[in-house]
Amino acid sequence: MIFLHPGCKDGLFNDNAKDPVVARVGEQYLFKSQLEELVHDGTSPTDSAAIVDGYVQNWIVENLMIREADKNVAADINLNKLVEEYRASLLVYNYEKKLIDMRLDTLISIAEKVAFYEKNKAQYLLSHPVLKCIIAKVPAKSSDIKNIFKALGKSDLTEAMFLIKDKAVYHHIDTAMYMTIEDVVSLVPTNMIDPEKISTGRVYQEKNKEFEYFVKILKYYDENKIPPFDYIDAKIAKTILSERKIALLKNYRQQLYENGIADKDFEIY
């Protein structure tokens, strides 16, 4: 069901079909048929009217703006040239995108990423400290408090992981995940960790009335230091792919030029 805008003149029709005009701006007309896809079956009359009215109002404003722009466009602007340049830009952009989709090799080996890392790692200095850690929140009454602290001090954390999983009411034991100092501090009591004294291997323990908190720093990387490979792995992959895209398009353009010479597709006068 289509609701016509209250101001439309039912007597005005499209020449090609008996199609009532809904709105007009200057010599531009909006016909009822142009609104048919706006409203779907099952839409209430109130919602249908609101949808159509909103579209009509937007159409009017847009066409008023176009008319005003057309009247006030600078005399030295070559609109046909601008349209042609924009068209050419769109054609090239979409064709390059198609070329990339069809031809870009997206498989990146670990060896290639490691080689890139070794060559370029100084360009990725950390803007803030990052760390890997284990965090546990254990009821203060637990009989394994001392055992957990002792187990966290070992290089083999198997026992610590077992105890934490069994006894902690909250734990973070993802040893592959990097966190910021702020991330860690937000999960433990205030002043438990001094950001100026964090170091790899250190174990923190803090008790409040109900819980005992533990933090084991597995790896710590300070600000302005070279980041570990796994921290920037995704960035490296993205950069390698970006460089491949640039090389692919550059080589394609060069090949296109050489083919043009061979096929005499162009001449330079």
- The predicted-structure confidence for 47-60, as pLDDT tens digits, reads as follows 889 999 999 999 99
Q: Are residues 25 and 105 in the same domain?
A: no
* Domain end point (choices 51, 72, 93): 72
C-alpha to C-alpha distance for 238 and 250, rounded to whole angstroms? 18
SS3 (DSSP) at 1: coil
Q: Are residues 107 and 134 in the same domain?
A: no
Would you say residue 64 has pLDDT above 60? Answer: yes
Q: Are residues 119 and 130 in the same domain?
A: no
Give me the pLDDT at residue 72, please. Answer: 86
- pLDDT-derived band at 185 (thresholds 50, 70, 90) equals very high
Give me the pLDDT at residue 10, please. Answer: 43
**Is 252 a member of any domain?**
yes
CA angle 46, 50, 56 (to 5 degrees): 145
Give me the pLDDT at residue 9, please. Answer: 41
Full residue range of the structural domain in which residue 108 is found: 85-124+239-269
**Is 255 a member of any domain?**
yes
**Is 11 a member of any domain?**
no
CATH number at residue 188: 3.10.50
Give the torsion sign (CA, 91, 93, 97, 99): positive
**Is 98 a member of any domain?**
yes
